[in-house]
Chains A and B, each alone.
Chain A
């Protein structure tokens, strides 16, 4: 009987027949396609860096033009209280004030409501109720902001005027815009807070219940403090959203800078102003055009800082559950 020492000769014959496969050749092959593909994909990833650089460059350059314009003074920009470009006043505070007021009102609405909804969904609601409520809130999040603007102007303002009187509440006012902004931001706050609450381990809740605590005491005195970093991050992101929001305030808050602390009066926010100016006819070399970029720079800087703070908050205060 032939032993199987003759196995080896069978292979080279087959290989010779196939012609291509040489099992001994394991040298690394140059693969141009792989390299090209990897380079291409890397470029895609780096594109985002270009975007950020582009934003910074564009905003910076035109803002520099703006601030070096003889009509404009950096100190005046940040310290005076009148924004009337036609007569050379470039104090940014009326716009900033309106932005802060509308954002504050928005957080007054979305903060407590959003957190309460998150607590309910996370600590109280049974799975069936959750599967009903969560999608509804997600629908709210998907509605375009221009639709919210319409809602603010045609529903919220008349409502406020009916409740508080036609003399107290102007047709364009910051309160209606702020409240509707709050409704728009609420799903975001709820969703992020609920994620934070759900991340708290079950063992903590069990420990609390085992001490004879009620569901409320457990939720509010154990779970929420444990999830605090995530909840704070949610609030900060909410504020950032509110500050950057354009359409609701452009439609409902008013056209024309106005420094006032009365929320029921009209005022123009930074974003609303940018939208109005660029929607009109402006010449490219004008100071109006350059002011868009200066304002955009302020906006970009503030939201960027807020987003970075939110990330830092999550990392710094994250409770390590052992």
Chain B
């Protein structure tokens, strides 16, 4: 399965600023839901155009951390963040930052594929349109084709663009959601267990797709599947409940190979060798 990168996308990738070689980072990030502390003191630096995986036992806050990047936690009543999340040197949680713009720059793919009840074409065109994309039909067609090609879905749906997004299989729907996300040209793509609802073949396709996508986008993926993390990611962050609390924290963050072969933290070693979790 080969992927065609359109010229515009390559151009964009080359021109994207790499400020100090960091795509996004957190500094002493604590997240609370009301009085309950969910995330404790996380400082991570994510490099651009790499795949960073976040692994750990369930309930330790992996999804919370992921959603902190694109401020999706804002929708939980009582959620607040202390500390900073910095992108291009700007704190995304600063009071003068518009979360809507944050979400334009940082896309998300969810655990269960959630295409809109619109046609395949509209699923992709809509996001661009509300973000200001204006163009003749030809331009929109081009945008849709480009996004579908980059998501490795074009060949399968090019003859049925007007059909509903729900007419696709699970794996195809997830790739549709990826195409939808990249249509608005984000810098970072967040993936929250994107393959957990898919069968192994669909999972494989998505993992291959990720390798191509990372040439243009920074990808942060949460997964409970250690083998997947080992296969797919360049860097891995190990998350666990901080000692004696119910708040999650990053206990180790390193090259994936190191995490899985020579982890420095005993807890990491216990987890990846399957002694618990």
Contacts and interface: CB of A to CB of B under 8 A. Distances in A.
A319 interface: yes
A221 B117 CA distance: 11
Interface string A218-247: 000110011000000000000000000000
A209 B114 contact: no
A32 interface: no
A320 interface: yes
B180 interface: yes
A203 B166 contact: no
A208 B177 CA distance: 11
B75 A209 contact: yes
B117 A211 contact: no
A55 interface: no
B30 to A, nearest CB: 23
A115 to B, nearest CB: 18
Contacts of B108: 206, 210
A221 B126 contact: yes
A319 B117 contact: yes
Given A212-B101, A322-B166, A206 B72 contact: yes
Nearest to A126: B77
A211 B72 contact: no
B114 A204 contact: yes
A126 B115 CA distance: 27
Given A217-B130, A221-B126, A211 B180 contact: yes
A320 B110 CA distance: 18
Given A212-B131, A217-B130, A204 B166 contact: no
B70 A210 contact: yes
Nearest to A226: B117
Nearest to A207: B114
B184 A212 contact: yes
B75 A211 contact: no
B221 interface: no
Nearest to A210: B108
A320 B103 contact: no
A221 B114 contact: no
Contacts of B116: 204, 207-208, 222, 226
Interface residues of B, number: 31
Interface string B83-105: 00000000000000000111111
B107 to A, nearest CB: 7
A299 interface: no
B110 A211 contact: no
A164 B155 CA distance: 64
Contacts of B102: 212
Contacts of B113: 322
B246 interface: no
Contacts of B107: 210-211
Interface string B161-185: 0000010001001000100110010
Contacts of B117: 204, 225-226, 319, 321
Contacts of B173: 322
A213 interface: yes
Contact of B114 (A206, A212, A213): A206
A214 interface: yes
Contact of A211 (B77, B103, B170): B103
B57 interface: no
B112 interface: yes
Interface in B115-156: 115-118, 126-127, 130-131
B177 A207 contact: yes
A212 B126 contact: no
Contacts of A207: 110, 114-116, 177, 180
Contacts of A213: 100, 127, 130
Nearest to B104: A212
Contact of A203 (B105, B110, B131): B110
A214 B103 contact: no
B13 to A, nearest CB: 20
A127 to B, nearest CB: 8
A212 B103 contact: yes
Contacts of B170: 322
Contacts of B126: 211, 221
Contact of B181 (A126, A210, A319, A321): A210
Contacts of A217: 130
Contact of A206 (B101, B110, B127): B110
B134 to A, nearest CB: 16
Contacts of A204: 114, 116-117
Name, among B70, B101, B110, B130, the residue most crowded by chain A CB atoms within 10 Å (CB to CB).
B130
B250 to A, nearest CB: 23
20 contacts: A203-B112, A204-B114, A204-B117, A206-B75, A206-B110, A207-B115, A207-B180, A210-B103, A210-B107, A211-B126, A212-B100, A212-B105, A212-B130, A212-B184, A214-B130, A222-B116, A225-B117, A226-B116, A319-B166, A320-B166
Interface of B: 70, 72, 75, 77, 100-105, 107-108, 110, 112-118, 126-127, 130-131, 166, 170, 173, 177, 180-181, 184
The 10 closest A-B pairs by CB, nearest first: A212-B104, A210-B108, A211-B127, A203-B114, A212-B103, A207-B114, A319-B117, A226-B117, A217-B130, A213-B130
Interface of A: 126, 201, 203-204, 206-214, 217, 221-222, 225-226, 319-322
